Structure 1
Amino acid sequence: MAESAHGDEAPHILVVPYPAQGHMLPLLDLAHLLSLRGGGIAITVAVTSGNLPLLAPLLSKSPSIQPLSLPFSHPSLPPGLENTKDLPPSYFRALMLALSSLHGPLLSWARAHPRPISAIVSDIFVGWTQPLAAELGVPRLVFSPSGVLGTAASHSLFVRMPRRPPRPNDDDDDDDYPVAFPSLPNSPVYPWRKLSWLFRTYVEGDPASEFVRRNFLWNLEGYGFVVNSFEGLERAYLERPLEDLATKRVWAVGPVAPTAQGGERGGAPTVSPAEAGAWLDGFPEGSVVYVCFGSQAALAPPQAAAVAAALERSGAAFVWAVRGGTAVPEGFEETVKWRGKVIRGWAPQVEILGHAAVGWFLTHCGWNSVLEAAAAGVAMLTWPMSADQHVNARLLVEEARVAVPACDGGGAVPEPEELARIVAEAVSGERGRTVRERAKELGTKAAEAVREGGSSYRHLEGLIHELYKLKSCTSAKR
């Protein structure tokens, strides 16, 4: 899309991520795509000083993207805490609130910048950028690292505020009280314990809770949503207006290219893609199970022991990417060394999933992992733990039918024999073969979506066109 086609200077977009692995990386990938395809769109990515190094791979590939480093500290947070890496979910709320202190510095920067910004593209967890956009007289587009269904469900909760009946104790992790979403396609019903932790822990009148709710309501005041998804996976949720998003434009532009950040997406991998690939080369197509539970969840010792026992008893070949804090049972690696590989620290997940030997992914169902598996045509064994993961798991198992349930819940400890049976049947059984075939078909749809003329390609072109149109409108008002 050339600037001359619009007869005007290209837009200047302010991008504001939320500093969590699963949120920040896909938004940076989107920024990279906009810089490649946007015909000269200028992009400024605002981050706190401690997160500036995370932009280095992006900046090296995208000269039209500039960083804006903002000093940051807040009395509610420990000194130096600027990212959720290795933190429990309880810090998400505190960091969401603390980051709103950047409103003033960003407003001052934008008003002083020689090239006025024409739109803000910001993460779903930084809703405070909506009033910032209003003060600057520019539109805000909300980027969601979740799917369309997950995005609609989370916003519906904070609009409708369904409540469960009082219980004798306060532990809602075992509460199966049903919460219906009648306005969503297929009218899903989820038990209370599977709803977003941010919603379940809402306390009326508590300043942090009220800020979180206000964050989601601000999102609904935005110009539209940009979602890392594609029609082949969520067609039903793109074709029909969604509850509480019905008046909003939704651009499904995924899977945003996971290679945009190169091999440093989560830090230097402890095993190189070449080393992982060489090990996988020794196994037949589709015979290896990749095991990873994301960048936030560390398995408790009983959970790690159960996973290790299940992998050992299943007889399946596997690669297990182990996050810090997860204790692999002593002697396990030696016992299974001929068919199992344990990677401690950051693993080259995209390259592993893309290897022909990998047919299954035992996953927590975080949306980035879901899309990376979908793009690779890999079937999934689901173990949702928190956030939107239960919504994602239901989509994969019941609707897309590219997954098989393996376990359920962040505190659940699977029965090793049962998990071993599920893994073995997935790799070798008839049902597993059928699910794998559907996963391969989904992988083909994902590839077609991002090719020229595909649905996500067209959505991205439409988004870029809209950014140019919005630039013209805001320029005329100034």
Structure 2
Amino acid sequence: MAIAGSHILVFPYPAQGHMLSLLDLTHQLAIRGLFITILVTPNNLPTISNLLSAHPTTITALLLPLPPHPSIPHGVENVKDLPADGFQAMMKALGDLHDPLLDWFNNHPTPPVAIISDMFLGWTHHLACHLGIRRYMFSPSGAFALSVIYSLWRYLPKRNDPENENEEISFPKIPNSPKYPWWQLSPLYRTYKEGDPTTEFIKDGLFANMVSWGVVINSFTELERVYIDHLKQEIGHDRVFAVGPLLPPGDKTIERGGPSSNEVLPWLDTCPPQSVVYVCFGSQAVLTNEQMEMVALGLERSQIKFVWSVKEPTVGHVAGKYGRIPSGFEDRVAGRGLVVRGWAPQVAILSHESVGAFLTHCGWNSIMEAVVAEVLMLTWPMSADQYSNATLLHELNVGMKACEGAETVPESGELAELFRKSVSEETRVERERAREFGRAAKEAMGENGSSLKELNRLVANLSLVEE
């Protein structure tokens, strides 16, 4: 039986790369008549302020303080400000919200009939089972990366030589049989220690993901059909909903992620179509000074136009070792290059007609934004699902390899040649492929599009209750 206006709990993981797309999904659910409670820790309330003001009668916030954890500095709630092992600490700490959340459910006059929560919150599956409701896992990664993650935890591959970081691990059950050296696998998997309370908790949560009622993915059928079908086969049902690309509504794209520089878009207006390379490594990655120097040299030698978004070092970065722009660089490239310190309006930049290529860390949000913008990607994966994402881009011929690894220092001459090539006629085939997938992405979210149908199927499924 379907119930109109069902109440749903949405629980994002409090890191920007995870939150943004789930908040965009929440907007889509709200405009389709669902009532939503969104759980956030107090420090993340500003992140959802626009969403709350856009839906004052259908979305409410549930504020629960982040439980203490010895690895989390006092008062710090956002993973991008945590030390390198912050993800594990945060996942474990958030698990302590189980009992406060249970109390809230039990005392609510009309409690939610379903939970949609991030893949790092697998424990919410057990909470849902206890309450007799359904839990849907939201994946901020694509179907291919999720296939690799599932395969790791389901089949638990090991190295023959425990000392060899370069030993290849193969995934024969996944279409196209990908292989990765050990060091490129998920850090959560590589650091798993049997019997350790934190890593056992994480393992249990990832197993819980595989048996949750449904899976929601920020991707679209035309991009990842073979891997979406594989996931359905692997988990044994068709409740895998590819509802992407999830982007902010209407003209909100320029604001996505926070405040930004106002000079970029007017400067891009002065550049010829498809002539600019955009360089950005997401909300967490910060380049070492050596890497900064090679990227700067590459941009300088290439003679192309560029926008470079440079993130400031944060907690966990050794002072003076990261993020330094080489002395005199900005003067030498004045007129043909722009350095933006802090957050840049990425969606708006990628969508600008002057931007032809994007050097990216291959975070999934960045990939979705670039696909919609029909921009060729230059790949430099650094961690987590980014290696799988880069594989997909190369497989689809919409990405070209620039570098790989958080510590790897690229050769500036090779970067310069890649930058030059990426906005030239030499990459005509790849750029046409990018345009094809961009058109497919827009069609997927348009009337009668595959993702729009999946979104409506998800809403119908969320609204079902047992008779």
Partner of 2:29: 34
Please name the residue that 1:112 is paired with: 107
| Matches of 1:243 and 1:331, distance apart in 2 | 55
1:349 is matched with: 346
Q: How does 1:397-416 map to 2 (within 5 A)?
A: 397=394, 399-416=395-412
Q: Give the letter for the 1:48 counterpart.
A: T
Q: Identity of aligned pairs, percent?
A: 50
- Give SS of 1:152's match: helix
- Cα distance in structure 2, aligned partners of 1:245 and 1:300: 40
Q: Kindly report which structure 2 residues correspond to 1:114-193, keeping only aligned pairs within 5 A, or say none.
A: 114-168=109-163, 175-193=165-183
Could you tell which deviates more after superposition, 229-238 or 139-148? Answer: 229-238
Letter in 1 for 2:448: G
Q: 1:152, 1:245 within 8 Å by CA — same for their partners in 2? A: no
Q: Distance in 2 between matches of 1:183 and 1:9?
A: 40
Q: Would the alpha carbon gap of residues 203 and 315 (structure 1) be closer, same or farther in structure 2, given more than 3 Å must change?
A: same
Alignment partner, residue 328 of structure 1: 325
- 1:393 is aligned to 390
Structure 2 counterpart of 1:50: 43
- Measure, in 1, the Cα distance between the counterparts of 2:406 and 2:294: 14
- State the distance in 1 between where 2:65 and 2:155 align: 37
Aligned 8 A contact 2:66 2:77 in 1: yes
Alpha-carbon distance, 1:364 to partner = 0.3
1:238 is aligned to 228
Assess, with a 3 A threshold, how the Cα gap between structure 1 residues 183 and 7 changes in structure 2: closer, same or farther.
closer
Deviation, 1:374, is 0.1
Tell me which amino acid in the other structure corresponds to 1:423: F
| Equivalent residues in 2 for 1:352-391, closer than 5 Å | 352-391=349-388
What displacement does 1:436 show? 0.7
* Alignment map for 1:176-215 (pairs within 5 Å): 176-215=166-205
Q: Find the aligned partners of 1:9 and 1:313 in 2 and give their Cα distance.
A: 60
The one-letter amino acid of 2:68's match is H
Deviation, 1:379, is 0.5
Unaligned runs of 5+ in 1: 1-5
1:241/1:83 CA distance change after superposition, 3 Å: closer
| Alignment check: 8 A CA contact 1:220 1:244 kept | no
Query: Match for residue 71 of structure 1?
Result: 65
Deviation at 1:86, TM superposition (A): 3.2
Distance in 1 (CA, whole Å) between partners of 2:215 and 2:386 is 20
**Structure 1 residues 241 and 351: alpha-carbon distance in aligned structure 2, compared to 1, 3 A threshold:** closer
Partner of 2:319: none
Shift of 1:246: 3.6
Cα contact 1:281–1:357 (8 A) shared by 2: yes
| Distance in 1 between residues matched to 2:172 and 2:206, nearest whole Å | 20
Cα deviation, 1:25-56, whole Å, max 9, x if unaligned, reads 110110001011x2x21000001112111110
**Deviation readout 1:225-249 (Å, 9 max, x if unpaired):** 0000001210111234557434352
How does the TM-score come out when normalised to structure 1?
A: 0.92
For residues 392-450 of structure 1, the C-alpha deviation after alignment (integer angstroms, 9 at most, x for no partner) is: 001001x21001100111111000011111111111242x1211111011100000000
Rounded to whole Å, the distance in 1 between the matches of 2:350 and 2:445 is: 18
Letter in 2 for 1:420: A
Aligned-residue CA RMSD (Å): 1.5
CA shift for structure 1 position 203: 1.5
Deviates more, 1:406-415 or 1:229-238: 229-238
In the other structure, the counterpart of 1:452 is: 447
User: How many residues are treated as equivalent by the alignment?
Assistant: 455
TM-score, structure 2 length as denominator? 0.94
SS for the counterpart of 1:162 is coil
1:72 is displaced (CA, Å) by: 2.3
Q: How far apart, CA to CA, are the structure 2 residues paired with 1:406 and 1:320?
A: 15
Correspondence for 1:3: none
Find out whether 1:92 has 2:87 as its counterpart: yes
Aligned partners of 1:241, 1:301: CA distance in 2, in Å? Answer: 40
Show the 5 A alignment for 1:162-311.
162-168=157-163, 175-241=165-231, 244-247=234-237, 249-259=239-249, 263-269=254-260, 271-272=261-262, 275-311=263-299
Aligned residues of 2:161 and 2:167 also touching (Cα < 8 A): no
Instruction: Tell me which of 436, 443, 446 is aligned to 1:441.
Output: 436
